[in-house]
């Protein structure tokens, strides 16, 4: 399976050791069920990630509405985005069968970066950084 090979490659890139065993499910239905269960679990993680993207965007909007253009707030939001980027990379590495929401999550993460850039511009314009 291409997904298994991809997972093994990721493990080896991280200087880990991947041991791949050949096992045969009891028919195509079992193989399909295993893949479906794995993908379902990743999809749930992507949905949670997307929810976090929404919260990030809401937080930035809230700070803009308050006019809270401070260096401390910008630093906090930069840390939040970096945490989301790490989470995205980790999740993408585990998503060997490519769950449906993975592409949407990638776009949302990019949008979050753009939202933060806009917020940073507002902070700089307001003189919120030293």
- pLDDT tens-digit map of 105-116: 999 999 999 999
Q: Which residues of 62-96 are buried (b: 16+ CB within 10 A; e: fewer)?
A: ebeeeebbeeebbeebeebbeebeebbeebbeebb
- pLDDT tens-digit map of 4-47: 888 888 888 999 998 888 877 788 898 899 899 999 999 999 99
Q: What is the greatest pairwise CA distance in the chain?
A: 66
Q: What are the residue boundaries of the structural domains of the chain, listed by start? A: 28-125
Measure the CA–CA gap between 45 and 63, rounded to whole angstroms. Answer: 27
pLDDT at 24: 75
- pLDDT tens-digit map of 65-107: 999 999 999 999 999 999 999 999 999 999 999 999 999 999 9
What's the start-to-end Cα distance of the chain, in Å? 54
> Which phi and psi angles does 23 have, rounded to 5°?
-135, 150
Confidence band for 55, pLDDT divided at 50, 70 and 90: very high
């Amino acid at each position: 399976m291409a997904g298994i090979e991809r997972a093994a490659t990721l493990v080896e890139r991280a200087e880990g050791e991947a041991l791949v065993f050949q096992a045969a499910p009891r028919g195509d239905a079992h193989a399909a069920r295993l893949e479906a269960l794995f993908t379902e679990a990743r999809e749930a993680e992507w949905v949670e990630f997307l929810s976090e993207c929404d919260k990030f965007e809401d937080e930035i909007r809230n700070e803009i509405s308050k006019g809270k253009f401070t260096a401390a707030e910008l630093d906090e939001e930069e840390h939040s985005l970096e945490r989301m980027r790490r989470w995205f990379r980790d999740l993408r590495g585990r998503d060997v069968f490519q769950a449906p929401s993975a592409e949407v999550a990638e776009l949302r993460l990019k949008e979050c970066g753009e939202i933060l850039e806009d917020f940073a511009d507002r902070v700089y314009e307001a003189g919120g950084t030293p």
